[in-house]
Amino acid sequence: MSIGKLEFVDSPQGTLPLEKVALRLNPIDDVAIVMVGLSAGTTLILDGDDGRQAEAKIRQFVPSGHKIALREMAPGTAVRRYGQIIGFTTTAVLPGEHVHLHNLGVQEFAREYAFSVDVRPVEYIAEAQRRTFLGYLRSDGRVGTRNYVAVIGTVNCSAHTVREIAHHFTPERLAAYPNIDGVIPIAHHLGCASRIGSQDYVFLQRCLAGIACHPNVAGYIVVGLGCETNQGMDLVQNFDLGQPPMLTIQGSGGVRKTVQAGIAAIEALLPAANDCQRSPQPIAELMVALQCGGSDGWSGITANPMRGLAADEIVRQGGTVVLAETPEIYGAEHLLVRRAVSPEVGQKLVDTVHWWEDHARRVGGEINNNPSIGNKAGGLTTIYEKSLGAVAKGGSTPLTGVFGYAEPVTVRGFTFMDSPGYDPISVTGQVAGGCNLVLFTTGRGSAFGFKPTPSIKIATNTPMYEHMIDDMDLNAGKVLDGVSMRAVAEELLDLAIHVASGQPSKSEAQGIGESEFNPWSVGGLF
């Protein structure tokens, strides 16, 4: 599977064949993606649908990763990329014209929800032939990729105290415990001023319980203020968390005394946490969060489909992958329901999408506000276009389950979790659901990391990869240089196994990931 090597032209001018400077992804597409900035006055030679050649004149500068029109289109015309609708023209468009915010918008259009028509049996790898990684086998049978001890805060009022306890445990103080990756604070901005049983309350408790029960967490303590709505005892009882050490600042007599008591409580947990050692485990025990942030026009061409191949291989090996960010499948959800293992699973996904439509109306917003300023600068125009590139992360295997935000993911294979399109909140839910590894694509450049789960960042294009080399783990942009997509996917799987076995990702090496725990507080967020 390869795009094929393209010959870059340093300063396109004169008359050039389209394929020298741009990609047409599907024969029925109305636009092509330019490989290098095109100056006004350049003429492109197009192969017409009738077999005859036609010319398209570039009328204004078009940046790399952006779209140009391949034919004349009247206002209100459906525009296709990937062979799918990405929007509708808002003005007349001529061949060679830059297609972007000034002439492309969204409007409602019917999507056919053909449940389960594209389900294909998974060709599973025999267990004896499955690859392995070095993981931490827990008593419940789950396997961790890291071995942390957590200090879990119930409320923002205890956030400082939680961090002080965790930060006491420097690498020097943990030197006697070589099997422990660190002590991490789980601090956040929530925990009070919300109704018990409200959606915010439930989401917060799911996220905190998901960390407490996570296979990457060997032990934990709970620290609160004392008078908050989100009481630690309620959290423990609601999720059957046993009898963890629990402290409150008010009950302990202030911050300083709570920090001292918290340090002592963590010290008591360290010997048992250190007893767990890495051992060979099948990669069927990986649960991988499929995530993206700072997408660009190349995301759906290089990194996301490449990661989809890797996701398919993880599923074939018996593992689990979790796609998320419901607003970022909007306009492409019909492609996913075709792969649902049952009409019930497909309908659950459709119902989730409809919730977001209702949510947008309630808060006076629109789902199309999701593409960020950076997304648009990188060539993405509408949420439909962004979503069609984003769903490529999920590969091609059957959709086996749809889960609510931060719910435990209880089935294997390719799954989906409802979440906003903001990556820290989305990853928080995926990790709370059990993900022990994150594969994160970015086109504009992301500094994302997440503890307790390592995050591997994949660049969509070579210039950004080289510019942010200290933050990028893998360059998917090499696909545009002729390297086969499957070869890069195999490289990614090898890297995932190394990181799951303890090799630090680029974000981990810089200590990133302590502040990204961010439970979803429902509001006008997309």
Both 297 and 314 in one domain: the answer is yes
Going by pLDDT thresholds of 50, 70 and 90, the confidence category of residue 6 is very low
Enter the tokens of residue 229: 């709505």
Q: Is residue 255 part of a domain?
A: yes
SS3 for 56? strand
Phi, psi values for residue 131, rounded to 5°: -75, 160
Q: Is residue 1 part of a domain?
A: no
Both 391 and 480 in one domain: the answer is yes
Both 294 and 262 in one domain: the answer is no
Tens of pLDDT, residue by residue over 226-249, are 999 999 999 999 999 999 999 999
Taking a C-beta distance cutoff of 8 angstroms, is the pair 133, 281 a contact?
A: yes
Taking a C-beta distance cutoff of 8 angstroms, is the pair 405, 206 a contact?
A: yes
Residue 22 β-bridge partners:
34
Tens of pLDDT, residue by residue over 126-148, are 999 999 999 999 999 999 999 99
Both 300 and 351 in one domain: the answer is yes
For 85, how many CA atoms within 13 A lie in the half-sphere containing its CB?
18
Q: Is residue 170 part of a domain?
A: yes
Calpha distance 523→255 (Å, rounded): 32
Both 365 and 249 in one domain: the answer is no
Tens of pLDDT, residue by residue over 441-484, are 999 999 999 999 999 999 999 999 999 999 999 999 999 999 99
Both 207 and 290 in one domain: the answer is no
Both 321 and 452 in one domain: the answer is yes
**For residue 158, what are the domain limits?**
148-275
Structural domains in the chain (count): 3
- CA 87-89-94 angle, to 5 degrees, is 130
pTM (two decimals): 0.95
Both 251 and 313 in one domain: the answer is no
Q: Which residues of 175-200 are buried (b: 16+ CB within 10 A; e: fewer)?
A: eebeebbbbbbbbbebbeebeeeeeb
Calpha distance 319→313 (Å, rounded): 9
Find the length of the chain.
Answer: 526
Both 205 and 303 in one domain: the answer is no
Both 292 and 271 in one domain: the answer is no
Tens of pLDDT, residue by residue over 57-113, are 999 999 999 999 999 999 999 999 999 999 999 999 999 999 999 999 999 999 999
Tens of pLDDT, residue by residue over 400-440, are 999 999 999 999 999 999 999 999 999 999 999 999 999 99
Both 209 and 300 in one domain: the answer is no
Tens of pLDDT, residue by residue over 342-355, are 999 999 999 999 99
Question: Which CATH number characterizes residue 63's domain?
Answer: 2.30.130.110
Task: Give the helix/strand (H/E) hosting 248.
Answer: strand 246-248
Calpha distance 90→83 (Å, rounded): 20
DSSP string, 362-414: HHT--GGG-S-HHHHHTT--SHHHHHHHHGGGG-SS-EEEEE-TT----S-EE
Both 369 and 418 in one domain: the answer is yes
Q: Is residue 432 part of a domain?
A: yes
